[in-house]
Amino acid sequence: MKTISLTATFDGQHITLDEPVVLKPNTRLLVTVLPDEPPDEEHRDWTTLALQSLGRAYGPAEPEYTLGMLKEQNPKYESR
């Protein structure tokens, strides 16, 4: 089986998957506990800054780079 992500809820005693899924007995699972509180203001600020920076780096004004613009090719890079 390929790796999939499933959402679940803990009711205080049991973990219940939010959607039905067929699993074989003894299937290994990885459980990640998510914080129940919203991110703090500093986390939101860093996220906003990162998104703005990505928008500037890959925005519509970003030029298209061609192979002819390379000054020196990397001999270890496989051309595709």
**How is the chain split into domains, by residue range?**
7-31
Query: How far apart (Å, rounded) are the C-alpha atoms in residues 51 and 46?
Result: 9
> Which residues of the chain fall short of a pLDDT of 70?
79-80
Confidence (pLDDT) at 8: 93
Confidence (pLDDT) at 69: 85
